[in-house]
Amino acid sequence: LLLMTLLMIAGTAAARTLTVEALVSPAWVERASGAREPLVPGAVLNDGDRVLTGGGARALLRLGEGSAVKLGENAQLRVDRMADGGVAAERVVSGALDVLQGAFRFTTRLFGAHQARRDINVRIATVTAGIRGTDVWGKSSPDRDVVCLIEGRIYVQHQEQAFTMQDPLSFFIAGRDGSRQPVAPVPEAQLKEWAEE
């Protein structure tokens, strides 16, 4: 009976790896099945689901271990391979979030103390950022993809180039034409402008 209870709890945790915490409408979720419905607080997001925000909209998503993903207006985010495995000190939340369009921010400390290790990859069209515990902002637009490390450390992959970003308040831009700019400090005014998105 105890084993069955533990398995049920583990299954529930895995099923609720990513939920909608709050939002400013209009926003929708396109389920992996193709069904489209309004996004509502408390909704559970599953693999293959796509979140879409409209003009003026915002969405706050929460991972089961407390990390948060904020989406700006006119954004699209696809959920892929999310899993919440292990217990106590061995707990690992893993998966991939594909930012197809718009601005996002991933923050590990928004909801309190760390409760699990993270192995999350955020793909911003042509750039992938591996997040293990950090605060990162990014945006995908038709001409370029931007990743800004606010604090912590991320592992970045762009085409064949892979590198670590660990200097707080630094950013990387990859053009859709294959060009890239070197990692550089982000001006305070630029960070403020991005944060408002």
Helices and strands (H, E) in the chain, number of each type: 2, 17
Q: pLDDT (tens digit, 9 = 90+) per residue, 140-181? A: 999 999 999 998 888 898 888 899 999 999 999 999 998 999
Contact 24, 56 (CB under 8 A): yes
Say which residues have a Cβ less than 8 Å from residue 188's Cβ, sequence separation at least 6: none
Whole-Å CA distances, 190 to 4, 68, 70, 73, 186: 52, 22, 18, 18, 7
pLDDT at site 94 = 72
Contact 147, 124 (CB under 8 A): yes
- The pLDDT value recorded for residue 193 is 92
| Euclidean distance between CA atoms 95 and 109, whole angstroms | 18
More confident residue, 63 or 57: 57
Q: Are strands 154-158 and 144-151 parallel, antiparallel or unpaired?
A: unpaired
Parallel, antiparallel or unpaired: strands 92-107 and 117-124: parallel
The pTM (predicted TM-score) of the whole model is 0.77
